[in-house]
Amino acid sequence: MTQTPDEHDVDRRAELLPEEEAVGSDAPREQAEAILEESLERTEDPEGTRESSTQTPD
């Protein structure tokens, strides 16, 4: 991966939604970073992630 998530985006995503607060999170910032990194990876290589995805139709 060539990009890392923007710190502002990570901070915003780390703010839990009401349904996430109900369940709780021990590491919301780390989870936010992982979610955004995966999103960037899919954006940078859509064909590669499409091939490896079990949710993408053939």
Q: What is the largest CA-CA distance in the chain?
A: 37
Report the predicted TM-score, pTM, of the whole model to 2 decimal places.
Answer: 0.65
10 exposure class (CB count in 10 Å sphere: 0-12, 13-18, 19+): buried
pLDDT in tens, 1-56: 557 888 999 999 899 889 988 998 899 999 999 999 988 888 887 777 666 666 65
Residue 19 has, within 13 A of its CA and on its CB side, a CA count of 0
**Could you give phi then psi for residue 24, rounded to 5 degrees?**
90, 165
Residue that is written with structure tokens 């590669």 in the block: 48
Per-residue pLDDT, 46: 74
Per-residue pLDDT, 18: 92
Per-residue pLDDT, 52: 67
Per-residue pLDDT, 44: 83
User: What's the gap between Cα 40 and its chain centre?
Assistant: 8
